[in-house]
A and B are shown apart, each in its own frame.
Chain A
Amino acid sequence: DIQMTQSPSSLSASVGDRVTITCRTSQSISSYLNWYQQKPGKAPNLLIYGVSSLQSGVPSRFSGNGSGTDFTLTISSLQPEDFATYYCQQSYSSPPEATFGQGTKLEIK
């Protein structure tokens, strides 16, 4: 099984800050790395798929990068609506099982 390590588990930042969340996998997963945002009481929302492709409707301040086993999600200038929990997800394996990272809770400083 592919293990995922997401860091940090929590992060305090201010509006306008640039923040980066990291996801590391136990083996190479090519480009099958995706990022989600989840707000309290709501379903997750796909932000980034295939490492760096922005899902339709997602603001361009969100970006993804990485390859192999190390991946990042960056928010270039935090907005009030960005305070939420973020999850990475991989589905490289066959059959297509999915694994989520532990989540990063982004809080207002």
Chain B
Amino acid sequence: EVQLVESGGGLVQPGGSLRLSCAASRFTFSGYWMTWVRQAPGKGLEWVANIKQDGSEKYYVDSAKGRFTISRDNAKNSLYLQMNSLGAEDTAVYYCARGPSKSNAFDIWGQGTMVTVSS
């Protein structure tokens, strides 16, 4: 079964950093754009960042620019999100998703990893 598994979430103090990982399996990871989407508690979905197949293009939501870095290691079938200068507004479940693919949809999602920014 095609699968994405996130890890690396946890409790971090304001101003701190965290690195999320997403391990892909049973599909050709290097053939797809990949994306991070987050969901604050009780709120809707927010696109955070995406990265092209070879890592040559990366895009971020305005609130993440300059603080977050998306990257990938195709040899390890892994996607990453380095998050710096974290604030309470970054508290959310972070999902990795495959895509944008057909019609720019996200067709496979991980189970999510919770990031809590609090002192």
Contacts and interface: CB of A to CB of B under 8 A. Distances in A.
Interface of A: 31-34, 36, 38, 42-46, 49-51, 53, 55, 87, 89-92, 95-103
B100 A91 contact: yes
Nearest to B61: A97
Given A96-B100, A97-B61, A49 B105 contact: yes
A16 B112 CA distance: 32
Given A96-B33, A100-B46, 10 more contacts: A33-B103, A34-B104, A38-B45, A43-B95, A49-B102, A91-B105, A96-B59, A98-B100, A102-B44, A103-B44
A33 B47 CA distance: 15
A73 B44 CA distance: 18
Given A87-B44, A99-B47, A32 B112 contact: no
Q: Of residues A33, A90, A92, A98, which shows the largest number of chain B Cβ atoms within 10 Å of its Cβ?
A: A98
B111 interface: yes
A87 B110 CA distance: 17
B21 interface: no
B59 A100 contact: no
A97 B110 contact: no
Q: Of residues B35, B47, B103, B109, which shows the largest number of chain A Cβ atoms within 10 Å of its Cβ?
A: B103
B47 A100 contact: yes
Interface of B: 33, 35, 37, 44-47, 50, 57, 59, 61, 95, 100, 102-107, 109-112
Q: Of residues A43, A50, A90, A91, which shows the largest number of chain B Cβ atoms within 10 Å of its Cβ?
A: A43
B95 A95 contact: no
B45 to A, nearest CB: 4
Contacts of A99: 47
Nearest to A100: B45
Nearest to B107: A46
A29 B75 CA distance: 35
